Amino acid sequence: MDIELNPESADWTERLDEQKRATIRDLHRLRPAWNLVAFFFIAVWAGAGWAVMSFPQWPVRIAGILVIGSVIHAMAILMHEGVHGNLFRNEPLDRWVGFFLGAPALFSCMAYRVNHLLHHAYNRTEKDPDEFTNLSKSRGVLSLAFYGWLILGMPVYVIHVPVNALLRGTRRQRTAVLLEYGLLAVIYGGTFALAVRLGWMQGLLLCWIYPLIVAAVFGAVRGWAEHMLTRPGSPLTQSRTVTSNALVSFFMCNLNYHLEHHLYPAMPWYHLPRLHRLLEEDFRRAGSSIYHSYLRFLWDAVRAGVHGRAPVTIGGERPS
């Protein structure tokens, strides 16, 4: 099958040996049964929602809100899979399933697609809509935005995505973006009206609004780690992987393997850990940024600041 490559990684891929390239081609095959994970996430959301409404104790409610926030974040990442056609390889189906997966996180699938594919095409350059250093030439402004990202990053990004899509998309794409936001307005408006009429506002707050804040924080941390403080100019150094643990990887649908995703954006999420193992030695030789913990990355990032660089970690150790 044909493999979708970013321009940044095409030359590097050609230098891999034939056995690795054959394995990578095989890893691009869809396993449609993995899409059923979306129903698992919905079931977890329903179960956690039942718990927070049935047991008003705050430890239960805090745990439930954290779980639902994780699920909203996970569903938004599955929307991202639809953006790349990695759910069904059927553009209309990927789009509309992605639309419903992204709706709880306030994203239009088409708006995200326009913005995100530009990010892949121009990763860490002046044309990258998600490149943080394009925000301002002022060191002070960048520092302020950098440290405020965890609180304000995702609310700003939710606005940035449709604005950028409308500015840089084609006429057809802009029409699709406006259609989707119109549908989202109807869904959100109807949900709030029904909650007010039936007296379900507390449930709406506990089972969606508060968890949405949690999802925003998770998204901000993940987004911070993906490219921030990496070395631009090479496909092996301008994106970062945080291997973390199995639970985190599952609820991030393996998007924490972000370096691998940027090298092969058409590879389904469930194959990315295997790709990581396949290319681990190549990453080691290139000096790729591979972390084993989000907490460790955050610690390094806060100390380095926006004008620094998070130390490369190889095999869990900082290079000498």
Per-residue pLDDT of the chain (320 residues; tens, 9 = 90+): 445 555 556 677 788 999 999 999 999 999 999 999 999 999 999 999 999 999 999 999 999 999 999 999 999 999 999 999 999 999 999 999 999 999 999 999 999 999 999 999 999 999 999 998 898 888 888 888 888 888 888 999 999 999 999 999 999 999 999 999 999 999 999 999 999 999 999 999 999 999 999 999 999 999 999 999 999 989 999 999 999 999 999 999 999 999 999 999 999 999 999 999 999 999 999 999 999 999 999 999 988 888 777 776 665 555 54
Q: What angle do CA 189, 177, 37 make, to 5 degrees?
A: 75
Q: Which helix or strand (DSSP H or E) is residue 241 part of?
A: strand 240-242
pLDDT score of 2:
44
Residues 6 or more apart from 117 whose CB is under 8 A from it?
83
pLDDT score of 12:
77
Q: How far apart are CA 60 and CA 53, in angstroms?
A: 9
pLDDT score of 320:
46
pTM of the model: 0.93
Q: What is the DSSP letter of 104?
A: G
SS3 315: coil
